[in-house]
């Protein structure tokens, strides 16, 4: 065991010695722009289902998978996330709660609040709600959800992932969630896409945003941010991207987020994606996010890929600034981020 601890310590020291943090922001056309990454995950190994543990330790060589627990708990802590933001030059981030025992596990709202308290000026929380026994305890869960949105410090929005949480977009039994979020002024980030994670639903009622349109229409005071903008990472296609863009064009309360579209898995479709956003005239609706931290270097590589794709598609500096931070500030009613 002592040898194992020494190996982990050496690895961490080596990683830490890989270089200092870059200057904050990204340089576009000679201007340095602030970046907010609205899509970051927290959690702990103990709340991670066995099947997902296997997936997140896929990259670790056989025989060394025991480090998964240490790395998960370290990287997904408030300090860990801040370290990743610093190493990517990102000013601030949204940190997601989630109750997804079928797939990626739980990140309870109270735990999220503890992590963002590490630096409330840079970390902003998104609370979630447990839905897997809705016929039995929906009243209790809705009360806890409203309490979290009202009383937990630093909670600025809601995180839902219908495909992970196994409930249909069009099931009216869950509409009270949207009502509460709208009434309390907390925008909802709703995962609107498939996922490569095991156990996640891939059928249209759980992934296609048109199934959410009734709720979008019924709750005009509720902001819906369509997570991943329909990027079908399971089949590696832009399956529901145009549907998301269409909804963002037609509804004032619909926004988009491109999490994981800057990842290597999406490299072939990213140029097409940014072209569709530009052609659809929804640049003012796209709020940058990465779906990190994932692994060291991910936040930076995702950001560089995404900014590079926007530059290749002739986005103006002002358009890139909107996507990287200004749209976030506007939707979440915050001052603009300056460097």
Partner 1 sequence: MMYSKKLLNKAFMILTAIGLALWLSGCAEGEAPTSPVNLSGTISVPDGVASDGSKVTVNLYHAWALEGPLRHPVEFIESFETAAGEYSFSFDYPIENGEGLLVYAWIDLDGDGVHCTPKIRADRAGLTVVEDFPATDITADVMLDVPCAGPDWFYPPAPG
Residues of this chain that bind partner 1 (CB under 8 A): 47, 49-50, 62-63, 65, 101-102, 105-106, 108, 131-136, 166-168, 170-171, 173, 199, 203-205, 210-211, 213-214
Name 37's bridge partners: 93
247 vs 256 by CB, closer to partner 1: 247
Tell how strand 31-33 and strand 105-107 pair up.
Answer: unpaired
210 vs 329 by CB, closer to partner 1: 210
194 vs 325 by CB, closer to partner 1: 194
Least gap, CB of 173 to partner 1 (angstroms): 8
Which residue bears the tokens 């990454």? Answer: 37
130 vs 321 by CB, closer to partner 1: 130
Least gap, CB of 115 to partner 1 (angstroms): 17
Least gap, CB of 2 to partner 1 (angstroms): 16
Question: How many helices (H) and strands (E) are present in the chain, helices listed first?
Answer: 15, 11
How far apart CA 300 and CA 22 sit, in angstroms, is: 10
160 vs 320 by CB, closer to partner 1: 160
Name 232's bridge partners: 237
How far apart CA 20 and CA 34 sit, in angstroms, is: 19
The length of the chain is 339
CA distances from 146 to 11, 132, 141, 171, 176 (A): 42, 17, 9, 20, 11
Least gap, CB of 100 to partner 1 (angstroms): 9
How far apart CA 275 and CA 312 sit, in angstroms, is: 9
Least gap, CB of 213 to partner 1 (angstroms): 6
Encoding tokens for residue 238?
């832009």
């Amino acid at each position: 065991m002592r040898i194992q601890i020494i190996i982990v310590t050496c690895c961490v020291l080596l990683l830490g010695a890989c270089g200092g943090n870059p200057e904050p922001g990204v340089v576009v056309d000679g201007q340095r722009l602030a970046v907010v990454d609205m899509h970051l995950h927290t959690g702990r190994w103990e709340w991670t289902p066995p099947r997902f543990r296997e997936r997140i330790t896929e990259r670790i060589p056989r025989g060394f998978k025991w480090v998964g627990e240490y790395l998960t708990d370290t990287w997904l802590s408030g300090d860990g996330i801040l370290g990743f933001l610093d190493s990517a030059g990102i000013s601030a981030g949204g940190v997601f709660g989630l109750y997804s025992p079928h797939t990626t596990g739980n990140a309870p709202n109270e735990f999220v609040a503890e992590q963002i308290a590490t630096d409330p000026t840079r970390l902003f929380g998104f609370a979630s709600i447990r839905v897997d026994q809705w016929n039995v305890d929906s009243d209790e869960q809705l009360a806890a959800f409203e309490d979290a949105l009202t009383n937990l410090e630093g909670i600025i929005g809601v995180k839902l992932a219908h495909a992970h949480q196994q409930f249909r977009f069009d099931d009216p039994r869950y509409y009270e969630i949207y009502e509460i979020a709208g009434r309390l002024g907390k925008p909802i980030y709703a995962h609107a896409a498939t996922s490569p994670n095991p156990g996640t639903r891939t059928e249209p009622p759980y992934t296609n945003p048109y199934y959410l349109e009734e709720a979008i229409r019924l709750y005009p005071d509720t902001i819906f941010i369509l997570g991943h903008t329909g990027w079908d990472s399971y089949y590696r296609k832009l399956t529901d991207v145009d549907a998301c863009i269409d909804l963002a064009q037609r509804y004032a309360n619909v926004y988009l987020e491109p999490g994981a579209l800057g990842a290597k898995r999406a490299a072939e479709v990213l140029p097409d994606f940014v072209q569709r956003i530009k052609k659809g005239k929804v640049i003012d609706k796209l709020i940058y996010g990465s779906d990190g931290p994932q692994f060291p270097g991910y936040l930076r590589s995702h950001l560089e890929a995404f900014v590079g794709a926007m530059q290749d598609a002739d986005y103006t500096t002002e358009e890139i600034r909107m996507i990287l931070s200004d749209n976030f500030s506007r939707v979440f009613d915050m001052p603009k981020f300056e460097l």
